Structure 1
Amino acid sequence: MKSIFRQVALIGKYHTAVAPALAASTRAALEDIANFLASQGCEVHVERDTAAVIGLTGFPTADAAALGTHCDLGLVVGGDGTMLGIGRQLARFGVPLIGINQGRLGFITDIPLDQYRTVLPPMLAGEYEEDHRSLMHAHVVRDGQVVFDALAMNDVVVNRGATSGMVELRVEVDGHFVANQRADGLIVATPTGSTAYALSAGGPLLHPSTPGWVLVPIAPHTLSNRPIVLPDGVEVAIELVAGRDASANFDMQSLASLLHGDRITVRRSQHKVRFLHPRGWTYFDTLRKKMHWNEGAA
């Protein structure tokens, strides 16, 4: 089967302080995948930092913006964190992404590393399921000025400091006052993020096609403060009223320190992330495997 994707970006999981043995195994896996893609008629471009940190040579390299401009498919090798990072960067280019998981099954990197030679060829030939995931666009506003700007695929989280007490947060939806909440923090999560931090804080699961967000308080002082599902067309504003050393996290990959009076506004981004899955994939298959449902059933 011939690939319908001609220019393929290869993005790997890497750390600047990675152990030599791990770097070598990662490099070997990525080299194997790159050579396999070339055998399928694809021209492979490796993400620049991936190549530099793990020492992968022999293929052209480019940064994320160049990959988004020139490539028609992204192949992400790592875990969900790797996919979150590159997904935000490539969303504006509309490049579809396939995830190969190096460890445990991920929610959005769903092809096991040892199965890619079997799974990839039909997908490269056009036999796949396509899945679109919404993004949030968040700003931190201080004294009327935007001091931090970020996209999030999973969640925007306002947290208390590690050694401080609760924070007090004023919450508004589309300019309408909702409540002043005293808690350890507050999560605004997309359907993709509903299986991440929001789930551990007691939030519901949202199907990826649901056009909504979930607002989940973290250890609220008042137990009647419960998670609430909102349409994703609204603007959520969170103002830090009280609390020390508070911060706002975006997919737990970027961080903004907060001062009293800072407002975090969250809107739906105009961009979506495109995922490609093997033919026959469903979200419920992933839930069963990842959440260990039906284990021990006859």
Structure 2
Amino acid sequence: MTSKFRHVALVGKYQSSSASGAATEQSRQILFDIAGFLQQQGCEVVLEEETATHTGLQHSFRSMPVDGLGQHCDLGIVVGGDGTMLGIGRQLAKYGTPLIGINQGRLGFVTDIPLDDYPQALLPILQGQYEQEARPLMHARVVRQGETVFEALAMNDVVVNRGGTSGMVELRVEVDGQFLSNQRADGLIVATPTGSTAYTLSVGGPLMHPSIPAWLMAPIAPHTLSNRPIVLSDQTEVMMEVVSGRDISANFDMQSLASLLHGDRIFVRRSEYSVRFLHPVGWNYFATLRKKLGWNEGGY
């Protein structure tokens, strides 16, 4: 049976220039093998430009920048970890390109196919047998004196927090223009259901099933013990205004804006874009939680 997908983008987790030659060669070989497997299924393989350059595969396969992949390819395969997927997912969301995650290392929440299992997992997906889901993105912008000075998409979370050596930060929080509270803490997280298994998990926030249309807002080390995580509709807009504190920064997944000023406002709303994921038939979110969090194992 021929592949349902004709043009497949391949994005890899490549090593930095300071990484060992053995690590770089390993990444190169993994991508080379996966690309060869896809070609055997009748797919045209196009590597993401930076992936091709850093792994030395630019002469072996066609390559394109991410926007080119979105315009040309009807499927994206991401090899790496959840961080790699976050970056490419934000960029390809506007094109509606479905993504498959192959985990190079520990099991990820959104890169869920183990590297050793990719041939058996990919073959039925390429033939049109898969589970599909959409994960919403956040659109966040920083407004300073009435002007937007930074904006970004986030799949996991938007975090406003203090510097490592500074004191507490105070944030005025509004939801749809209605005052909620003044938060005094080390910081504040607004997360998607996808992000509920990331930073918010470490500060005591609940897990949210990805089908729930909600945001999770959780304080980091709050000054008042009654200041607890709260779940909000994702149809609302959350506003965080910097009232006081030093060395305050905002982070949008892995994108950062340092040195927020008093009076800066960070607005968070649901983006018009979502990230599409394809999973093997039989995939379910709860099985991923059990594997990743070690549930049902001794000592838990």
If the TM-score is normalised by the length of the shorter chain, which range does it land in? over 0.9
Q: What is aligned with 2:240?
A: 238
Q: Is the 8 A contact 1:158 1:187 kept in 2?
A: yes
Does the 8 Å CA contact 2:185/2:223 hold for their aligned counterparts?
Answer: yes
Residue 154 of structure 2 is matched in structure 1 by 152
Contact (CA 8 Å) 2:9, 2:77: kept in 1 or not? yes
Match of residue 120, structure 1, among 119, 122, 126 = 122
- Structure 1's consecutive aligned runs of 4 or more residues displaced over 4 angstroms after TM superposition are none
Task: Report what 1:19 is aligned to.
Answer: 20
Q: Tell whether the 8 Å contact from 2:249 to 2:256 is kept in structure 1 after alignment.
A: no
Alignment match, 1:164: 166
On the 8 A contact 1:10/1:74 being kept in 2, the answer is yes
Contact 1:156 1:248 in 2 (8 A): yes
CA contact (8 A) 1:10 1:76 kept: yes
Q: Deviations over 1:73-114 (max 9, x none)?
A: 000000000000000000000000000001000000000111
Residue 22 of structure 2 is aligned to residue 3 of structure 1:
no
Q: CA deviation at 1:253?
A: 3.5
Structure 1 distance, partners of 2:81, 2:20, is 18
Of 222, 226, 229 in structure 2, the residue corresponding to residue 227 of structure 1 is 229
Question: Equivalent residue of 1:257, what SS?
Answer: coil
Letter in 1 for 2:2: K
Cα contact 2:139–2:270 (8 A) shared by 1: yes
Partner of 2:292: 290
1:34-45 aligned within 5 A? 34-45=35-46
Matched with 2:55 is 54
**Residue 132, structure 1, aligned to residue 134, structure 2:** yes
**For each residue in 1:135-177, what CA deviation from the matched residue of structure 2 results, as whole angstroms up to 9, or x when unmatched?**
0000000010000010000000001011101100000000001
Residues of 1 paired with 2:287 and 2:257: CA distance? 33
| In structure 1, C-alpha distance between the alignment counterparts of 2:51 and 2:259, rounded to whole Å | 29
Take 2:124 and 2:98, find their aligned partners in 1: how far apart are those partners? 15
TM-score of the superposition, structure 1-length normalised?
Answer: 0.98
Shift, 1:15, TM fit? 3.8
Matched position secondary structure for 1:38: helix
TM-score (norm 2): 0.97
Counterpart Cα distance in 2 of 1:126 and 1:177: 48
Alpha carbons 1:131, 1:274 under 8 Å: kept: yes
Post-superposition offset of 1:118? 1.1
Q: Distance in 2 between matches of 1:67 and 1:255?
A: 27
User: C-alpha root-mean-square deviation of aligned residues, in Å?
Assistant: 1.0
1:179 aligns with 2:181: yes
Unmatched 5+ residue regions in structure 1?
none
Q: Which amino acid aligns with 1:152?
A: A
Compute the displacement of 1:20 (Å).
1.7
CA displacement 1:178-233 (0-9 Å, x = unmatched): 11111000000000000000010110000000000100000000011000000000
Q: What SS does the corresponding residue of 2:205 show, helix, strand or coil?
A: coil
Verify the 8 A CA contact 1:148 1:256 in the aligned structure 2. Answer: no
* Residue identity matched to 1:77: V
Q: Deviations over 1:231-285 (max 9, x none)?
A: 0000000011101010000113433431111000001000000000000000001
Native 8 Å contact 1:192 1:208 kept in 2: yes
Taking the aligned partners of 1:254 and 1:88, their CA distance within structure 2 comes to 15
3-state DSSP of counterpart to 2:83: helix
Give the fraction of aligned pairs with identical amino acids, expressed as a percent: 70
- 1:84-95 alignment runs, 5 A limit: 84-95=86-97
Separation in structure 2 between the aligned mates of residue 16 and residue 289 of structure 1, nearest angstrom: 29
